[in-house]
Structure 1
Amino acid sequence: MNVTVFVVLAPLAMWMFPVYVPPNSTATIYASLPPGLCNATGVIHVSQLVAIACVNKALAPTTVSGYVAVEYPKPPPPPSVPAPEAPILAVAAGAAAAAGLSHVASNRRELLAAPLAPIVARIKRATGEDPARREILRVVEQLGAATLAQIAKATGKGWGAVQWHVYVLEREGRLRSIRIGPMTYYFTNPKKAAEVILASVDPDALPLEDREKLDFLAASAS
């Protein structure tokens, strides 16, 4: 802060300017006041409350002019606290749980596959050459088209295990899928899948978009 002083002191009068200093801190005072009349001039370093005073001991009015500047040191910025690094297993578990909940709520397999893909790649590369996946392929080929629930029932495996194996098989191109209404069907033979799905739904009740998808599937090469 900076204070410009211009006062007229009456005889035997005093002018005071207090300088406050925060605890555990210092202040630098730059004063330009009449020496002899005032108790501060020049540069002064203080660490506690001080009062700059000018006293008129004369029997006539006295003019006091000059300035007082007070400078406080700027406190250093607080050190930044780095965010703790979450273990890879905790990140994987959180992503898998969030993906699983999203999948249950919306029945969209894409929400499960997207967050799991980079995690799985870091742990190991899963392949379709697995007895459980070969069994799933056999069931899907036999049924023509099947939902996750139908695959789980036919193989006797848990929903989560089937969901994971189907994701691996589809990623490697050994299974394909199509969403009709609220259901996602998995298949290997497009023509056979179209026949099975059309036989299990009411074609007249299907939206135009779903009917077009089935028509395109039926016209595809196996």
Structure 2
Amino acid sequence: MPVMTDLPRKTMGIIGGVGPGSTAVFYRNVVRRHAQRAGGRLPALIVYSLPMEPQIETAMLEAGATSGPEVDRLIAMLEAGVGALSRAGVDAIVMPCNTLQAYLPSLVERAGLPYIHLIAETVNDIRRRGYERPAVICTAPMRALGLYQAELESHSVPYVLPTDSEQTHITRTILDTLHQASPDPNALLRPVVRRLETVADSILLGCSDLTAFEDPAFTRLPVVDAMKVLVEATVVFLLTE
């Protein structure tokens, strides 16, 4: 395939580090997808990795906090990251993390930069595929913030949420996966997914740390992975005038 030399040359800023593993996967996938679509040419990417603190992770993932001193420190970190990327001259900002989507867009807007909106892009993908009743699987604070629910409702798309006890199992699965704390971190997730399969026509995967869904056999439902949607949206931005 000939190299395409007339493509736009944009630089994408990535707010990463939440978590580092999902940031690395997102980076690799953007590079791979961009190369596929641009005749082998690689994208210009600048990653700002947040200096995440264990106390913030505990407050948000385990306690489900959406406000308070830990969240205030997180917002300050995000603001510093946006400032650093803006000074570096990026053309837009993206963040491969579902849970923090409530806090970043306004900071990016204040910096005068475009933002790749994970929530909107994911719901648009669900609508394009024609799914009519997705089950939303995400972290407890993401569920409490209601970002996916509000976006789905704005397009009149019904959805299913896990029960409170199922959400607790999802949280435990995320933590066990992040910290490699269990020989079978998905043991609690399997029965949750089995029940959701009876009431939904698809799964909206709104957490990049639930790696069980990388196995196509884990669920019989089609999975809309927000991170994969975000990869595609990022590459489209980079290759569009």
How high is the TM-score relative to the length of structure 2?
A: 0.22
Larger radius of gyration: 1
Query: Comparing both structures, which one devotes a greater share of its residues to strand?
Result: 1
Larger relative contact order (CA 8 Å, sep ≥ 6): 2
How high is the TM-score relative to the length of structure 1?
A: 0.24
Query: Comparing both structures, which one devotes a greater share of its residues to helix?
Result: 2
